[in-house]
A and B are shown apart, each in its own frame.
Chain A
């Protein structure tokens, strides 16, 4: 009886930890994806649109750098996709754009980071709902 109870607790803990990892990974992935949408920039006939990275030459979008717990593990567009595979709950994932003019473009009105941040609660709610269904 006691053994079965302990086994149940053990399974519950494992399942909870798995869910935490899935939520951490999936939330980071979905948030970074929301912050990585691209649109033609002004040189290619586009106009300033909040929530998008302007793409004229591709240099800005391609200057993305992903690091996990301070160690760089990806560069370029979608740099975060592979690196996030080894993320567990409690890790710190960072996505940054290193082009010298990234901040100027961002605050000029493209605001891709702010726009993704605004959606973070919605993304988290959605990820938690999916994790409950997936991890059994």
Chain B
């Protein structure tokens, strides 16, 4: 299990379930045309806990956060963006386990749908998903 495995597992969970969501996603480190509505995925964290006694590269757990920003048009009702936010949060409920290569990612708390704000070019509603990945 490594950070790529964790990110891939979380990205697949979102990317394979876009039925009620905008189909356009700005993935980390990939160009995006900025056409709204779209989802923007950002990862942070990667704080690891190990269990090795003698210099082995053993990763038992990795804590992190995946933020999915819903980007909607300005001058519209906030309901649409909030609705997309709720749909994202519903994909990552508390306790949701996602199998990844070499381990499991578990969502730690109910995913937050934070209050929207005016971004550079649109209305943004962040959804914050806290997870802990555990090696098998």
Listed in ascending order, the chain A residues whose CB lies under 8 Å from chain B are: 50-51, 103-104, 107-109, 111, 114-115, 118-119, 122
Interface SS majority for chain B = strand
Which residues does chain B contribute within 8 Å of A108, judged by CB atoms?
Answer: 42, 119
A108 to B41, CA, bound (A): 10
Residues of B within 8 A of A103 (CB): 117
By the criterion CB–CB under 8 Å, are A104 and B65 in contact?
no
B118 near A104 with CB under 8 A, answer yes
A sample of 19 inter-chain contacts (CB < 8 A) reads: A103-B117, A104-B118, A104-B119, A104-B124, A107-B67, A107-B114, A107-B126, A108-B42, A109-B42, A114-B44, A114-B45, A114-B67, A114-B128, A115-B44, A118-B64, A118-B65, A118-B130, A119-B47, A122-B47
SS of A interface (majority)? helix
Asked if B120 contacts A118 (CB within 8 A), the reply is no
A111 touches B42 (CB 8 A): yes
Inside 8 A of B67's CB, which chain A residues have their CB? 107, 109, 111, 114
Q: Which residues of B contact A (CB under 8 A)?
A: 42-45, 47, 63-65, 67, 69, 114, 117-120, 124, 126, 128, 130
In the complex, what distance in Å separates the CA atom of A69 from the CA atom of B97?
38
The 3 closest A-B pairs by CB, nearest first: A50-B44, A107-B126, A111-B44
Q: Which of A107, A115, A118 contacts B69 (CB 8 A)?
A: A107
Complex contacts, B44 vs chain A, CB 8 Å: 50-51, 109, 111, 114-115, 118
Distance in Å from the Cβ of B132 to the closest Cβ of chain A?
10
Residues of B within 8 Å of A51, CB to CB, are 44
Contacts of A119 in B (CB 8 A): 47
| Contact call B65/A111, Cβ cutoff below 8 A | yes
Q: Besides A50-B44, A118-B130, 19 other CB < 8 A contacts?
A: A50-B42, A104-B117, A104-B119, A104-B120, A107-B42, A107-B67, A107-B69, A107-B124, A108-B42, A109-B44, A109-B67, A111-B44, A111-B67, A114-B44, A114-B65, A115-B65, A118-B44, A119-B47, A122-B47
